Amino acid sequence: MAPEDRSRHQAFATWVGARVTDDIGPDTELLVARKVSLRPDSKYQAALALRLPIVRPSYVKALWDEQQLVDKEPHFLPPLAGLAINFGPIQDQVSPELRKRAEASGAVITTLDKAEVVIVTDASKPIYQEGRSLGLLCAPPLWLERCLQIRCCLTIAGELEVPQAGVPLGGSVEAEVSTILHGCVLCLVYLPPGKERDDAAERAWRCGAWTTLEAKDPAITHVLFDVVPRVLVHVSMPVDEALGVEFVDVRWLDACVETGKRAEENHFARPRVAYNPTCDIAYPAALQSDLSASSMKVRRVESSAALEEVTTKSTQLVEAPAAAQPEIRGGLKPPLSGLTVRITALDDSKQSCRERQRLQEMAHGLGATVADQRSRLADITHFVCVVPDRLEAGLAEKARKRQIHIVAVHWLLDCNRHGSRQPEARYSMRDAAPLPTQSEPLLEDAVTKASPCVAATVLAKCDILVSPWALGVEPKLTQMAKELGATSVRTWRTPAELRSLLQASSEGQTRAVVVEKDETRQGSLEGCVEKWTPELRSIFVQPSWLSETYSQRRRLPLSSFAAFSGAEDTESPLRVAPE
């Protein structure tokens, strides 16, 4: 990217609140690029290894123009964007259709002296030696087809290298089948249905492995995912390491195929998984009612005709329209089949985006259609409200006029937990107008009516006391504590009020006082710190303790976020607070 262009789009990204870095690290979530790269040390290949989305600069410009999150798909970087390719004198051996597809995917067809990659059928061709002498990469047509198939620019290695003279390019399925994964059973149910899942099944069969779509099959040895960093995936199988089941990125299977030997699972990305025994209740709807559980384990391929038959049937089953999906055994359908839900009442923060994605995946897994900003209001049946005080008054009014359900987010969580559609009346927010003065009672009412979820036990048996200063920095602290299941969440204004609240705490309860660090020097606690015991000081934490506990959905130690540093403790005399 040209320096001027780079600076311009960096400014756009910064203005919309994104953090821009020059290197790809563990916190990177997106790569913006104008062209692909085949260099192993390039940022493009590093992003592919981490399964990061790669978009064109137009995505950043669209964020600035719309002032809100936009769909990435129209802005994904084409698989051959900007790559200079030469077909040499063998272009007659490459189908015109493949050449057109390469150009449509961003490739630049050029002469040999300007090319980066030369397409050649085998190593005996003069163009192969000429290209190598010029320092160019040489690849067979199979590499080009594979890049177009999986929509990213792969490195030229393994079976994608130019074959020696006399060695057939590609070959039959029978010739490619090996036994490097013999005895392995790969669960593919968490891969996107359709082509990606079918391609993974084909690669697994070629390595001698078995595949299954039954998540509770006791013979499973590996569960494959298209890993997205820091996104939690709910699975219906135990995640205990002692069971020996490997949860691994699908690129592990790609590496096994390319190297011809079983790759080490620890060298590949691992998904964040959580055990939820009912989360896959909707997946059987993608299977025919006449398929028994044993037949879900697909047999190892024996011929190319059998592979084509199994792949075609699988694609027809998972890509069939919702209206044509057969009922699963017992006459049941996905619990939210036929409904169209829209996740609403969230801000544009990174945490909210992750939460929205998780809830949309959950709704889709339960059989519902997920609506977006462009969907017609007449098609929507449910508004799922995450944060009640962010619900737009105009949207709520339109929903009431059209008799669209407005439910708290716990309705969706409980539908997922019970594996059935829950009555909307228990979660209805139709009568809860989102007025600023009533936002807190509304949230309490929604949490009280809804069934508890996993996050509602993180701060169980814990009393949270929040100072006004801390609320001024992060207004959602009390809401976070309530959603995490705190026994009580209260605010205080004076040291005397704080002391009375601490004395009123029930025995056996964990206590945490959330304060700003500077509050002890110039706020309401000025002059009080030196009167407190070390034990009392230990329960004072900074607001980041509560926000990080909410983000990670686990209770973090108070000592890591102490409001009073060790230096202050040693400088101040330790005296017991007078009764």
Contacts (Cβ under 8 Å, ≥6 apart) of 428: 405, 406, 407
Tokens coding 307:
């592979």
Bridge partners of 223, per DSSP, are 187, 247
- State how far the Cα of 242 lies from the Cα of 224, in Å rounded to an integer: 18
Please, how many CA atoms are within 13 Å of residue 536, restricted to the half-sphere of its CB?
Answer: 16
- State how far the Cα of 471 lies from the Cα of 487, in Å rounded to an integer: 19
| Closest to 48 in 3D by CA, of 27, 79, 22 | 79
Reported residue count of the chain is: 579
- Burial degree of 523 (CB within 10 A; 0-12, 13-18, 19+): middle
Q: Taking the model in full, what pTM does it have?
A: 0.34
**One fold for both 3-75 and 174-324?**
yes
CB 159 within 8 A of CB 257: yes
Alpha helices by DSSP H, listed for 86-125, are: 96-104
CATH number of 84-170: 3.40.50.10190
CATH number of 340-449: 3.40.50.10190
User: Where are the chain's structural domains?
Assistant: 3-75, 84-170, 174-324, 340-449, 454-571
User: What phi and psi values does residue 34 have, to the nearest 5 degrees?
Assistant: -100, -25
Contacts (Cβ under 8 Å, ≥6 apart) of 75: 55, 56, 58, 59, 62
pLDDT for res 436: 35
Contacts (Cβ under 8 Å, ≥6 apart) of 298: 201, 205, 210, 211, 212, 310, 314
pLDDT for res 340: 93
CB 446 within 8 A of CB 429: yes
Domain 454-571 has CATH 3.30.365.10: no
Would the CA dihedral through 542, 548, 553, 559 be positive or negative? negative
CATH number of 3-75: 3.40.50.10190
User: What phi and psi values does residue 178 have, to the nearest 5 degrees?
Assistant: -125, -175
- Burial degree of 213 (CB within 10 A; 0-12, 13-18, 19+): buried
**pLDDT by residue for the chain (579 residues), tens digit each?**
777 778 888 888 888 888 888 888 878 888 999 999 998 888 998 888 888 889 999 998 898 888 888 888 889 999 999 999 988 775 546 677 888 888 999 999 988 888 899 888 888 888 888 888 888 888 888 888 888 877 889 888 877 888 876 544 444 333 355 778 888 889 988 888 777 888 888 888 888 888 888 777 788 899 999 887 777 787 877 777 767 889 999 999 988 988 888 899 888 888 888 777 655 544 444 333 333 333 333 333 333 333 333 333 333 333 333 333 333 333 457 889 889 999 988 877 767 777 787 788 888 888 899 987 778 888 899 999 888 777 787 787 888 888 899 988 888 888 887 778 888 887 887 654 433 333 333 333 333 333 334 456 778 888 999 888 887 777 788 888 888 888 888 888 778 888 888 888 777 788 899 988 777 665 556 567 667 788 888 888 888 888 888 877 778 888 878 887 653 443 333 333 333
- State how far the Cα of 398 lies from the Cα of 377, in Å rounded to an integer: 9
| Closest to 43 in 3D by CA, of 251, 107, 52 | 52
Query: Could you tell me the fold of the domain covering 174-324?
Result: Rossmann fold (3.40.50)
pLDDT for res 455: 53
Contacts (Cβ under 8 Å, ≥6 apart) of 87: 94, 99, 109, 118, 119
